[in-house]
C-alpha cells in the first residue's frame, strides 16, 4: 500500500524538480554555419530551436519569406540541433548548404546544451526568455505554424 502511494509521489517530485530546472537556461556560445560565435545570453528574448530536418526547413522558409536576416539585432537566436546528423553529411552537405542562408544558425553539434530544453520530437520549439528564464514555450508542428508565429513576434 505504501509503495502504491510513495512511487507516484516520488515521480511527481522528480518531474517537478526537472520542470523547475528547465525554467532557466545557461548562457552559451555556439558556432554558426560560418564558424562565427552566436551567443545565448541574458539579452536573448526569443530562442528558436529545431531538432529535425523538416523543422529546420520550416524555420528557414519563414525567416527567408519574412526577410529576417539579423536575428541578433532583434535579440533572437536560432539554434539547430544537428547532433543526430552523421558528421560527414554535416560537414560536406548540410553546413555548405546553410552557408547560402542570409541569417545565422547557431549549430548544436553535440546535443548536450539542448538536451534538457523542453521540446517535442518533430516539432519546432520557440522560447520567450527574460534574462535566460523561460517565460513561455511554444511548440509548432508545421511550416505554416512557424511562419504565423514568427510573423506574430516580428
DSSP lists the bridge partners of residue 106 as 79
- Looking at residue 140, the DSSP 8-state letter turns out to be E
Q: Which of 8-22, 54-68, 83-97 has the lowest mean pLDDT?
A: 8-22
Distances (CA, A) of 138 to 5, 49, 87, 146: 33, 10, 29, 10
Query: Within 13 Å of residue 111, how many CA atoms lie on the same side as its CB?
Result: 8
| Cα distance from N-terminal residue to C-terminal residue, the chain | 54
Helix (H) and strand (E) counts in the chain: 5, 7
Residue 148's pLDDT is: 98
pLDDT in tens, 16-65: 333 444 599 999 999 999 999 999 999 999 999 999 999 999 999 999 99
Alpha carbon distance 20, 30 (integer Å) = 24
What residues does each domain of the chain span?
25-153
Three-class secondary structure of residue 123 per DSSP: coil
pTM attached to this predicted model: 0.85
Radius of gyration of the chain measured on its C-alpha atoms:
17
DSSP letters spanning 19-84: HHHTTB---EEEE-TTS-EEEE-TT--EEEEE-SHHHHHHHHHHHHHTT---TGGGTEEEEEE-TT
Neighbouring C-beta atoms of residue 45, cutoff 10 Å:
16
Q: If pLDDT is split at 50, 70 and 90, which confidence band does 11 have? A: very low
What cell was used for 85? 546528423
The CATH topology of domain 25-153 is: Glutaredoxin (3.40.30)
Amino acid at each position: 500500500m505504501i509503495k502504491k502511494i510513495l512511487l507516484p509521489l516520488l515521480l511527481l517530485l522528480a518531474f517537478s524538480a526537472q520542470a523547475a530546472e528547465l525554467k532557466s537556461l545557461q548562457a552559451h556560445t555556439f558556432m554558426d554555419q560560418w564558424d562565427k560565435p552566436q551567443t545565448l545570453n541574458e539579452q536573448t528574448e526569443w530562442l528558436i530551436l529545431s531538432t529535425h530536418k523538416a523543422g529546420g526547413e520550416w524555420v528557414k522558409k519563414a525567416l527567408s519569406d519574412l526577410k529576417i536576416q539579423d536575428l541578433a539585432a532583434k535579440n533572437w537566436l536560432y539554434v539547430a540541433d544537428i547532433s543526430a546528423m552523421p558528421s560527414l553529411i554535416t560537414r560536406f552537405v548540410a553546413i555548405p548548404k546553410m552557408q547560402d542562408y542570409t541569417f545565422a544558425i547557431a549549430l548544436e553539434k553535440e546535443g548536450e546544451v539542448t538536451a534538457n530544453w523542453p521540446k517535442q520530437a518533430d516539432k519546432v520549439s520557440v522560447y520567450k526568455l527574460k534574462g535566460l528564464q523561460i517565460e513561455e514555450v511554444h511548440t509548432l508542428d508545421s511550416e505554416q505554424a512557424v511562419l504565423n508565429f514568427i510573423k506574430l513576434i516580428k
